[in-house]
Amino acid sequence: MDKHSLAQLIEISCAVGSRTDYVQAGGGNTSVKSPTGQTMAIKASGTALTAMSESAGWVEVDVATVLSIFDRNDLATMETDAREARVLQHLSSAIIGGKGRPSVETALHAMLGKVVIHTHPVAANALNCGPGFKALEAITPAGELPPLWVPYTDPGWRLADTIKSAAEAYQQSHGQLPAVLFMENHGLLVSASDAQDCVALHAEWVSRCERYFLPGLKPRRSPEALHSADLRKAMVSIRQAWREVKGRAPFARLTAGAELASVACDERADLFAAGSLTPDHIVYTGARAILAESLEELPAKLKAGLVEKAPPRVAVVRNVGTFLLADDAKKLDAAESLAVAGAGITHLASERGGAHNLAPASAAFIVNWEAEHYRSALLGTATESLAGKVAVVTGAASGLGCGLAQGLLEAGAAVAFCDVDDTGAKDAAAASAAPSRAFPVYMDVTDEDSVASAFDQVLRHWGRVDIAVCAAGIAPAYELVDMPVKSWRLALEINLTGYFLVAREAARIMRAQADGGAMIMLSSKSGLDASKANSAYNATKAGELHLMRGWALELGGDGIRVNALAPGNVFEGSKIWNPEYIKAAARKKGIKPEEVIPHYVSLTALKRDIKRSDIAAAAVFLCSDAARCITGQTLVVDSGQVMVR
C-alpha cells in the first residue's frame, strides 16, 4: 500500500477509534483506496481502530477481485454457513498485502468512495434503533443530498448486496453514490475523497443526530448506592452462581456510570431483557440481558441465562443497579462499553418514540454467525499463571509495592494499585504493562474506613478479591537515643496496623467467597536479622512475620494461604532508599553516600543487585497454584545475605 493512503487509514482510524461514543469494544471499520482505486487497505477483522499501525491491523486487497463477488449468482441460494464461508474464501483470495483476516464488510467498502468510515455512534444508533427514516428528513438540510437509509439486513454478503442495489438506485436518482448511509439497528457509514473530509462528514452527521435528540431530553433517576454489606453479599452470590454453571469464578462489575445504572429504574430494563439493539451488542453483551426483581432473585436468573448459546453479560436488578459479567477483565470492559452505549441509545430514543431491538430472526443469525464468533474469540483467554485472579496491592504507587503490582499484572492478574498517594497510584497504573487490568484505588492503610472502602471499590469494579499483598511501609532510620516517639508510632501504624486492617478485610471477603485465596506480607531481611539504627523497622518487620504465621494457621481451613517475602536491599525505585536515608546509612557505616549501594551489594553471597522484578517473581510464585501447599512460610529474596535459621 502506498504510504500516503496508509497514513490516511491510520489517521481516520485514530480519529474515530479514540471516541467511545463512536465505537465500542474495538468495533467500527475504516478503509482507504489507493490513488488509482485498484487496491484498498481496510481494517483487519477484530482489530481495534486505535491499534492500527504501519505494519499491523490492516489488509490490502485488490478491489476488482473483491467486487467480483457480486458476479457470483450461486451465493443467493446457498445455505447461510456455506455462503459466508465461500465469501470469506473469496475475500481472502483478494488479499495482496498486510496481515490478518479481511473484514466481512470489505465488499461494502470496495463499492463506495475513496475513504470510508463505519462506526456505531450512540446518537446515530439512537436514530437507527428509534425513529429511523422519518428522522433523517428532519436532520437533512433543504437542498442537500439525503443519506441512504438501509433497512436492517443481516451483515456480511447480504448487507453488501443490499447496499449495492440501493446505492445503484441512489446513483440513478441523484447522479452520484451516497456519501452517508444510516443502517437500521447497525451503524453509520460515511465516505469522502480524503481523510479530513471523511472525518469531518462523520462528525457533522453525528452532531446532527445529537441536536435532534438532546432538546427536551429528560434526566434519568439513578438507584441509591448499594450498601457495603449488600454489595459483598451480591458479589458472592453472583460468583457462586457463575461457578456452579461455568466451573470458575467470573469477573463482575456493578456499574458506577449514571446512564447505565439508571436503566434499573425505568422501562429500559424491560427493553434490555427482551433482546439486543445491534449485532455488536449480541457479540459482547449477549442476546439479551438478565432482569431480576431483587438481588435474591438474581442467582437463579443468572444460572438459567448462562446455559443459553449467547449468554447474558448484563444483569439488571430492578431499582438496585446494573451488573456486568464476564470470564475475564478484558471481556468485562467490552461488555460495559456496549452496555453503556446501549443505555445512551435507549435514553435518547425514548424521547422520540422509543428504541426497538433486533428482530428474533436477525438476532439468531448473529448468534450463529461464524464471523462474530471469530471477533469474540479475538478477545482471547489469558493463560498466564495468575490469569483470572484479582489482586489488591498496597503501597503500589512506588517502590517495591509498585514492582509487586506490576509483576502480578504481567502474570495475568487484574491488579488494584492501592496507595495513599492517589496521583502516584493513577500514574503507576496508567504506565503499567496492561492498563486495562490496572485499577488505581485510594487507600490509607491506617484508616479502617478507608481500607474497607477501597476493598468495596475493587469489588464494585471486578467483583472479587483473590490475592492481597501488604506492601505499604516506612523505615524511619534513627539511633535508639534519637528516635522520636512520633516516628516510632507512625511506623507501627503503617507497618503493623496497616497490615492488620488490610489482611482482615481481605480475609473477610475471601472467607465469604469460599474459594480460598493468597496473601503476602512484605517483610524484610531486617525482620530476620536486625539492622543497626532501625528500631521501628526491625520491630515491625519481625512482627509482620509472626502475624503472617498466626494468620496462616487461622485461615488455612478456608483454603487461604498466607506467606511472607523477606527482601534484601532493593534500591530500584525505592522511596525508603531516598537520599536522606542513604546519607544516614553512610554515617552508620562510616562510608561515603556513593559507596552505600555497592557496600550493601557486597554483603550478599551472590554479589548481585536485587531488582523489583526479583521480588515480584517470588510473589507470583507464592500466589500461584505452584505454591498451593505452601503457607505460613517466609521466602527470603536477598541474594544470600541472611540465612534463615
CATH number of the domain at 135, please: 3.40.225.10
pLDDT of residue 520: 98
Catalytic residues: 537
Q: Which residue has the cell 504481567?
A: 410
Q: Say whether pLDDT at 57 is over 60.
A: yes
Instruction: Tell me the three cell numbers of residue 216.
Output: 427536551
Over residues 554-566, mean pLDDT: 98
Q: Say whether pLDDT at 194 is over 90.
A: yes
Are residues 279 and 197 part of one domain? no
pLDDT of residue 380: 54
Percent of the chain with pLDDT over 70: 98
Average pLDDT, the chain: 94
pLDDT tens per residue, range 156-191: 889 999 999 999 999 999 999 999 999 999 999 999
Output the 3-class SS for 166-222. HHHHHHHHHCCCCCEEEECCCEEEEEECCHHHHHHHHHHHHHHHHHHHCCCCCCCCC
pLDDT of residue 30: 97
pLDDT of residue 228: 97
Q: What's 117's DSSP letter?
A: E
Over residues 478-490, mean pLDDT: 96
pLDDT tens per residue, range 400-430: 999 999 999 999 999 999 999 999 999 999 9
Over residues 353-378, mean pLDDT: 80
Are residues 182 and 277 part of one domain? no
Q: Which residues pair with 251 in a beta bridge?
A: 326
Are residues 428 and 340 part of one domain? no
Are residues 181 and 81 part of one domain? yes
Domain that includes residue 115, residue range: 3-213
Residue 281 domain flag: yes
Phi, psi angle pair for 272, to nearest 5°: -60, -40
pLDDT, greater one: 196 or 383: 196
Are residues 448 and 317 part of one domain? no
Calculate the dihedral angle through the C-alpha atoms of 306, 312, 315, 316, rounding to the nearest 10 degrees.
Answer: -130
pLDDT tens per residue, range 261-310: 999 999 999 999 999 999 999 999 999 999 999 999 999 999 999 999 99
Residue 598 domain flag: no
pLDDT, greater one: 256 or 389: 389
Helix, coil or strand: residue 590 = coil
Are residues 239 and 202 part of one domain? no
Q: Say whether pLDDT at 376 is over 90.
A: no
Residue 311 domain flag: yes
Q: Say whether pLDDT at 354 is over 90.
A: yes
Are residues 196 and 292 part of one domain? no
Are residues 399 and 366 part of one domain? no
Residue 567 domain flag: yes
Range of weakest confidence among 128-142, 360-374, 564-578: 360-374
Reported as a pLDDT band with limits 50, 70 and 90, residue 477 is: confident
End-to-end CA distance of the chain: give it in Å, rounded.
67
Are residues 557 and 502 part of one domain? yes
pLDDT of residue 216: 77
Q: What's 55's DSSP letter?
A: S
pLDDT tens per residue, range 204-230: 999 999 999 998 788 889 999 999 999
pLDDT tens per residue, range 229-269: 999 999 999 999 999 999 999 999 999 899 999 999 999 99
Are residues 372 and 394 part of one domain? no
- Of the candidates 186, 213, 240, which is a domain's last residue? 213
Number of folded domains that form the chain: 3
Q: Say whether pLDDT at 370 is over 90.
A: no
Residue 595 domain flag: no
Are residues 124 and 147 part of one domain? yes
| Letter string b/e over residues 300-334, b meaning 16 or more CB atoms within 10 A of that residue's CB | ebbeebbeeebbbbbbbbbebbbbbbbbbbbbbbb
pLDDT tens per residue, range 499-527: 999 999 999 999 999 999 999 999 999 99
pLDDT of residue 150: 97
Over residues 582-611, mean pLDDT: 90
Q: Say whether pLDDT at 549 is over 80.
A: yes
